[in-house]
Amino acid sequence: MSFSGCSHLEARLSAKVFGEVQGVFFRAATVEEAVKLGVSGRVANADDGTVEVEAEGERDALESLLAWLHVGPPAARVEKVEFSWGACAGDFRGFHAEKTFGGRGPSP
């Protein structure tokens, strides 16, 4: 379901963050960063110990979020980030954390 139309300047970022990224407030910090950047989407822990992010917004803002994901909050130790780009679908309203994506996360 699409909440709003996307402009030609908007894109979708799907990312999977590896390392010590659960139990270190990674999701909360990601929400804070995404809101600051004005992107919408969600972040969740995955069963394999990674954190998954789906975000939509202007490409420049998403690139800034991606750069931040490579570092994360102070307590995190990011080893690598797998990501892919796609077309904005207008799937999100705001940015929020979920415990999990219910077994279906982004496909990096």
Domain segments of the chain as ranges: 10-93
Residues labelled as active-site residues: 27, 45
Structural fold of domain 10-93: Alpha-Beta Plaits (3.30.70)
Mean pLDDT of 38-55: 97
What pLDDT was estimated at residue 99? Answer: 85
- DSSP string of the chain? --SS---TTEEEEEEEEEEE-SSSSHHHHHHHHHHHHT-EEEEEE-TTS-EEEEEEEEHHHHHHHHHHHTT-STT-EEEEEEEEEEE-----SSEEEES--TT-----
Q: What is the pLDDT of residue 7?
A: 80
- pLDDT at site 4: 54
Amino acid 102: pLDDT: 58
The pLDDT assigned to 15 comes to: 98
Q: What is the pTM of this model?
A: 0.87
